[in-house]
Structure 1
Amino acid sequence: MVLQHKKVAVIGAGPVGLTFARLLQQSGVEVHVYERDKNQHTRIKGGTLDIHHDYGQLALEKAGLLDEFYRYSRPTPERSTDQDGTLLEENYPAEGHLYDRPEIDRNDLRTMLLGHLDPGTVVWDSKLTSLEQPQDGTFLLHFENGDTAAADVVVGANGGMSNVRKLVTDAHPEYTGTVVIQGEVLQPDLHCPDFKQLCGQGNMAAIAEQMFVFSQTKANGALNYYISFRRPEQWIRECGLDFTDKKAVSTYLDQLFANWNPAYRQLFSATDEYTLLPMRRLRPENWKPHHNITLIGDAAHVMPPFSGIGVNIGLLDALYLSENLLNEACRSIDAAIQAYEVQMFAYASKAQEDTAEAESSIHSEKRFDEIRREKR
């Protein structure tokens, strides 16, 4: 095995990095995961994740975690509504397919993965600031807290703005033309009962006026939602919105949704926290020569969430990279990494194309006209 007596450093304790670490530890590989969060109890922002049976679940199965994943996750109904608040469609997972795409809270997924790693695997409060690769091939990692670490292999799994990426490619994530305002309501039954009735107990999507609203119900009943719309990149700098000022953002959204059912605006007034998320895409191409280092997950191929495939592609990365590194047929670490990257470039590029198509369709005037015709 090419990793025998080698130290592997994974940068980022998201689901992809932790799954990759688990897959290596099953074969006795020495691996540490370096994470900027203060500790494992740091709250993770964001909505629920749907892990597909033919993508992400393959990695969890190989990691021996599928049964436990089913205990943490839940089959989730999905609704489609219009801007008037009319229920257009509601789908429940069919019997026999309940766990094809179950949803799981991000914190629950992290808890599950951490529970199956050796004690001390994750080194918390370790934000990577720089990375050196001396001539002997051993990497030297520097962290914001002043600590350093050495590793023979480095895997960047620290998201779309990864600072590991510069050793692999000169490419930078590009703005797609879409912005997302993310909101969270901790007590929706109390503070936005009309919207809660509209969205039910699962996921809800609405498309109108070239805007997309998507809400998710977490395990504790809280709501996470996303509102997406097209804007030029300079709008991000010039809109003048302070996203820590909940009232200002709610007022802006009220104006944006003036033609929508009041239940949507009730959602905004109930929101506990807002985050602005410019959508970015990094095409997995034109990587420069690199030695004993690679990227997985969003660090390799960040993409918007409009086809719901991002984390699943990242989990495939963890699966295929670990399989290649543990494959006795691979004669070197670089050969194993190259074999993985060839695979990843193919399926990640397809996922990028599907996501770009979905993003364009969701926010197109044509889509809006089609919905209006259907209502008539």
Structure 2
Amino acid sequence: MTAISIIGAGPGGLTCARVLQRHGIPVTVYDADPGRDSRNQGGSLDLHDDNGQIALREAGLLDEFFALARAEGQEERGLAIDGRLVEHHVPAPGERTKPEIDRGQLRELLLDSLTPGTVRWGHALASTDGRHLRFTDGTAAEAELIIGADGAFSRVRAAVSPAVPRHTGVSFLEAWFDEVETRHADLSDLVGPGSAHAADGERGVFAQRNSGGHIRVYLMRQVPADWLDRAGLSIEDTSSVRAHVLKEFAAWSPRLRQMITDNDGPFVDRPIFALPVPHAWPRHPSITLLGDAAHLMPPLGVGVNLAMLDASDLALSIAGTATLSEAVQAYEATMRPRSTEIAKLLEGGAQQMLEPKP
């Protein structure tokens, strides 16, 4: 039996494992993916100097992060729907407040820092009672402490809390653009080295530079979670989805509408969910949660940062406390008020992303 088991090999779970191992504490991470390269890890994210970077310092990986991160990615552009630049933040020379890194690069950095064999791939959790882990392939394991780092629809959370994520009323439609300097030069110029955002009160776009000549665009719309079914559409039918969405953005300039007309490959539907605020659960001596499993919020730049800070705080509490039960209690006493305060500030934030720039 491993004393500590983490469910989920995302940034939070991997950060927790790394900090634990730096303190000589054995840990096993279980993840549903069949392998580390089995799927695309998503777009770019910014790691802030007051949370995510703190966690990476405790993980001993801050210098490696800065070697990979893109300081220029901190540039932000606010656009009107006619394409005019109305807001512009250019990072100062040497600014490291929140540099960008691809999610896949961050995950590789964390995975490579762990003892080989730490992560057990192909282990999708079916249920846990706080001691036993049962996986969907019929296998099982035991642990003295189970850490739920398994995201928005956490299976671990179900063992301690009845709360389920609710749709915020906003959904994203993700579009990818490759080789943008040559194949999508105008979009590359429009977005710049960081990100660009535009909205009209009912819908918006957020375009973000990734490494390797890629841009990801998120078309943000106030629609029900099942909008595709209601419209009689299939996400695989790119041309029909594109035609449907173009009607909604009819008043926008052609330069911005290229984010809908010119993408490479299919769209990805991403309904935005959040947990009730505040979210708490009765203290459990052998189960705790971190990141989205504990406090799922709208995607406004805090999710991964908070998950990694949770992970670092929890690992340090385990390393510095006499018993696992006391460590969990101390960690939750820090994590809960912090996450509740931020969640209250971001409540309704999904709709705020649709507000136009002044």
Same fold (TM over 0.5): yes
Q: Tell me if structure 2 keeps the 8 A contact 1:17–1:33.
A: yes
Task: Give distance in 1, aligned partners of 2:2 and 2:226.
Answer: 46
Q: Which of the numbers 337, 340, 347 marks the counterpart of 2:338?
A: 347
Q: Which residue of 2 aligns with 1:39?
A: 35
1:244 to 236, 256, 259: 236
Distance of aligned partners of 1:90 and 1:30 in 2 relative to their CA distance in 1, 3 Å threshold: same
Q: Is residue 6–residue 29 contact of structure 1 (8 Å, CA) maintained in 2?
A: no
- Choose 246-255 or 157-166, whichever is displaced more: 246-255
Count of residue pairs brought into register by the alignment: 354
Q: Select which of 151, 164, 167 maps to 1:159.
A: 151
User: What SS class does the counterpart of residue 281 from structure 2 fall into?
Assistant: coil
Partner residue in 2 for 1:57: 53
- Identify which of 114, 122, 126 aligns with 2:123: 126
1:91 is displaced (CA, Å) by: 2.0
Give the residue type in structure 2 aligned to 1:265: R
Q: Percent identity?
A: 37
Distance 2:182 2:154 in 1: 39
- Cα contact 1:284–1:300 (8 A) shared by 2: no
Partner residue in 1 for 2:291: 297
Q: Secondary structure at the match of 1:273?
A: coil
SS at match of 2:246: helix
Give, in angstroms, the shift of residue 209 of structure 1: 4.0
The CA distance in 2 between the partners of 1:117 and 1:222, in whole Å, is: 29
CA distance in 2, matches of 1:96, 1:200: 18
| Structure 1 residue 140, shift from structure 2 partner | 2.2
Paired position in structure 2 for 1:136: none
Change (3 A) 1:241 1:342: farther
Letter in 1 for 2:306: I
Residue number in structure 2 paired with 1:90: 88
Question: Are the counterparts in 2 of residues 184 and 224 from structure 1 also a CA contact under 8 Å?
Answer: yes
Cα distance between partner residues in 1 of 2:204 and 2:339:
24
| Deviation (angstroms), 1:264 | 2.6
Deviation at 1:233, TM superposition (A): 5.0
SS in 1 for 2:347: helix
> Is the deviation greater in 106-115 or in 73-82?
73-82
Report the CA distance between 1:85 and its aligned residue.
1.1
Deviation at 1:362, TM superposition (A): 3.2
Q: 1:280 aligns with which of 263, 269, 273?
A: 273
TM-score (norm 1): 0.88
User: Which position in structure 1 is the counterpart of 2:3?
Assistant: 7
Instruction: Give the superposition deviation at 1:181.
Output: 1.3
TM alignment of 1:202-241, pairs within 5 A: 202-233=194-225, 235=227, 237-241=229-233
Give the equivalent residue in structure 2 for 1:141.
Answer: 133
TM-align CA RMSD: 1.9
Tell me which residue corresponds to 2:18: 22
Amino acid at match of 1:51: L
How far has the Cα of 1:297 moved from its partner?
0.8
- Check the 8 A contact 1:43/1:107 in 2, yes or no: no
Cα distance between partner residues in 2 of 1:71 and 1:13: 22
Deviates more, 1:15-24 or 1:288-297: 288-297
Please name the residue that 1:267 is paired with: 259
- Check the 8 A contact 2:233/2:240 in 1, yes or no: yes
Question: CA offset at residue 234 of structure 1?
Answer: 5.7
Q: Does 1:81 find its partner at 2:74?
A: no
SS in 1 for 2:207: strand
Structure 1 SS opposite 2:27:
strand
Query: Conserved in 2, the CA contact under 8 Å of 1:167 and 1:290?
Result: no
Question: Following superposition of structure 1 onto structure 2, how do residues 160-175 of structure 1 map, counting pairs within 5 Å?
Answer: 160-175=152-167
Q: 1:150 Cα shift?
A: 2.0
Higher deviation after alignment, 10-19 or 224-233: 224-233
Structure 2 spans left out of the alignment, 5+ residues: none
CA distance in 1, matches of 2:319, 2:292: 23
Deviation at 1:198, TM superposition (A): 1.2
Q: In 2, are the aligned partners of 1:192 and 1:267 still within 8 Å (CA)?
A: no
2:179 equivalent in structure 1: 187
Report the more deviating stretch, 333-342 or 215-224.
333-342
AA matched with 2:61: L
Indicate the residue corresponding to 1:320 in structure 2: 313
CA drift of 1:191 comes to 4.4
* Deviation (angstroms), 1:265: 2.5
Matched position secondary structure for 2:155: coil
Query: Counterpart in 2 of 1:308?
Result: 301
Residues 13-51 of structure 1 show CA distances to partners (whole Å, capped at 9, x for unaligned) of: 001100000010011111111111121122334220100
State the match for 1:68 in structure 2.
Answer: 64
SS in 2 for 1:215: strand
| One-letter amino acid of the structure 1 residue matched with residue 47 of structure 2 | I
How far, CA to CA, are the matches of 1:190 and 1:264 in structure 2? 18
